[in-house]
Amino acid sequence: MLWEQYIGSLIEAKEAGMKMACIMAIGLAALLLLGCASASKLNSVSLGMTRDQVVGAIGEPSSTSEMGNTQYLKYQLFSDWIFTDRYYVRLTDGKVDAFGRVGDFNLGY
């Protein structure tokens, strides 16, 4: 009788472990999909958009800076399943005139 209880508890532990592994796999898949979607948000930005349109399309920036009539919106977006890249949107006179990753387009930022 004791042996049957021991075997039964081992089977229950194995089933619980399999459920946890399944939950972790689903969570990892969700993160992978989220990462792919995040960097692709930048595809919805286009030249001539206003700041409000950019924020509506890709969300609030992680930080901003401004000098004269030029404003930079800085974003930390997932470029793949775990790493983030810095992306910038540059607005001149309130309109997007450049956007991309650090170093793109010889923007000097």
Here the CATH number for the domain that contains residue 17 is 3.30.1450.10
User: Residue 74: beta bridge partners?
Assistant: 63, 88
In a domain, 24, yes or no: yes
Output the CA angle 53-59-61, nearest 5 degrees.
100
Output phi, psi for 74, to 5 deg: -100, 135
In a domain, 108, yes or no: no
In a domain, 14, yes or no: yes
Number of domains in the chain: 1
Model confidence pLDDT, tens digit, residues 58-100: 999 999 999 999 999 998 877 666 667 788 999 999 999 999 8
Measure Cα distances from 47 to 15, 25, 32, 72, 89 in Å: 54, 39, 29, 14, 10
In a domain, 109, yes or no: no
Is residue 43 within 8 A of residue 31, CB to CB? The reply is: no
Is the pLDDT at 39 greater than 60? The verdict is: yes
**Residue 71 belongs to domain spanning:** 2-103
